[in-house]
Amino acid sequence: MGKMINGQWRSDTWVRDNEGHFEREPTTFRDQVEDREDATYRAASQRYHLYVSYACPWAHRTLIVRALMGLEEAIDVSVVHPHMLDDGWTFDQDFDGTTGDTIGDHQFLRQLYVEADDEYTGRVTVPVLWDRERATIVNNESREIIRMFNQGFAAFATTDVDLWPQGHRERIDEIIDAIYEPINNGVYRSGFATTQRAYEKSVTQLFEALEKWENHLSRHRYLAGQVFTEADVCMFTTLLRFDPVYYGHFKCNIKHVYEFPNLWNYALEIYQMPGVAETCRLDHIKSHYYYSHQNINPTGIVPRGPILNHLAHHDRDRLPGEVVGL
């Protein structure tokens, strides 16, 4: 995987600690769009643009929140090619569903990073929230982008969906923190581990956390209780990728998600919420991981299975719950 160092692209740079644990570097563009007249980045329709990969679980969070809130008109999107090789994310268009760079004429995502900061050092990641007016990156941290959509962009939404409702906020933030390391990042830590010990540690923590939430979901419709929130979006994008990719490619194979009845039915319910299925591109997901990580799948062969039916009937109606504003 490549990386920018002082504005120059270098391929093949991986970050691991000396025990073989994969380390995810913190993102650096952390400005906020706010619905205030004097804000540097003032919320507006059609001013901001979202760069995503359908493959990426972090970017997928932003697409789901955008869909549930009905922000499609206000915030347009460019979709990168699922293969991420020596040039990092590209705007090649020879894969169904890619769009190219619909607002600029860039060939590579890294060009946006250099435009935003010509001395940029760090990874070139999706999602990116881009400001057309200032021609810069506002933010490239999914957790902050989904919060901005919910807060800053509410006036431009075509639904009243609120994924960070009053009265639940502290709990939602605690859950997002709690699932990040063992689950969302845990699958990567398992898959990218370079020692048996590092792998065992991550995979054990991952399945302990999944068992814990499986148990929680046997009694509660959603992670924060009766309301569907940002925390569920963060959990869902990992669950969706689990059986098709993380189980095999990342060796997270103690159980499939479909072997956890509550987690599986919970994922089905979210998949079937309005607008969500359209954001779920398993073709991009499988192609990206199996083809891009040449260190763990050198042949680049993308497996045919598993055959899953995300439109199957789910049993979550047995528990009380709501999506605020839907």
Measured between alpha carbons, how far is 135 from 126 in angstroms, rounded to an integer?
17
State the residue for tokens 């490549």. Answer: 2
Q: Which is nearer to ligand GSH, 129 or 161 (CB)?
A: 129
Measured between alpha carbons, how far is 250 from 124 in angstroms, rounded to an integer?
22
Residue 141 in contact with ligand GSH, rule: CB under 6 A: yes
Positions in 143-172 near ligand GSH (CB under 6 A): 143
Residue type, 142: S
Catalytic annotation on 266? no
Query: Which window, 51-59, 158-166, 257-265, 272-280, contacts ligand GSH (CB under 6 A)?
Result: 51-59
Residue 126 in contact with ligand GSH, rule: CB under 6 A: yes
Q: Which residue in the set 127, 165, 186, 191 belongs to the binding site for ligand GSH (CB under 6 A)? A: 127
Residue 125 in contact with ligand GSH, rule: CB under 6 A: yes
SS3 state of residue 322: strand
Query: Which window, 54-62, 95-103, 206-214, 246-254, contacts ligand GSH (CB under 6 A)?
Result: 54-62
Q: How far is the CB of 261 from ligand GSH (least distance, A)?
A: 28
Catalytic: which of 41, 51, 56, 113?
56
CB-hemisphere CA count at 13 Å for 316? 27
Q: Which is nearer to ligand GSH, 10 or 197 (CB)?
A: 10
Residue 230 in contact with ligand GSH, rule: CB under 6 A: no
Q: Do 175 and 162 contact (CB within 8 A), yes or no?
A: no
Instruction: Name every residue whose Cβ is closer than 8 Å to that of residue 22 and which is 6 or more positions away in sequence.
Output: 14, 15, 16, 188, 189, 191, 192, 193, 198
Measured between alpha carbons, how far is 220 from 175 in angstroms, rounded to an integer?
14
Query: Which window, 43-51, 119-127, 167-175, 219-227, contacts ligand GSH (CB under 6 A)?
Result: 119-127
Catalytic annotation on 56? yes
Positions in 82-111 near ligand GSH (CB under 6 A): 88
User: CA triplet 8, 100, 79: central angle to 5 degrees?
Assistant: 90
Residue 142 in contact with ligand GSH, rule: CB under 6 A: yes
- Token pair belonging to 235: 């959990």
Catalytically annotated residues:
56, 188
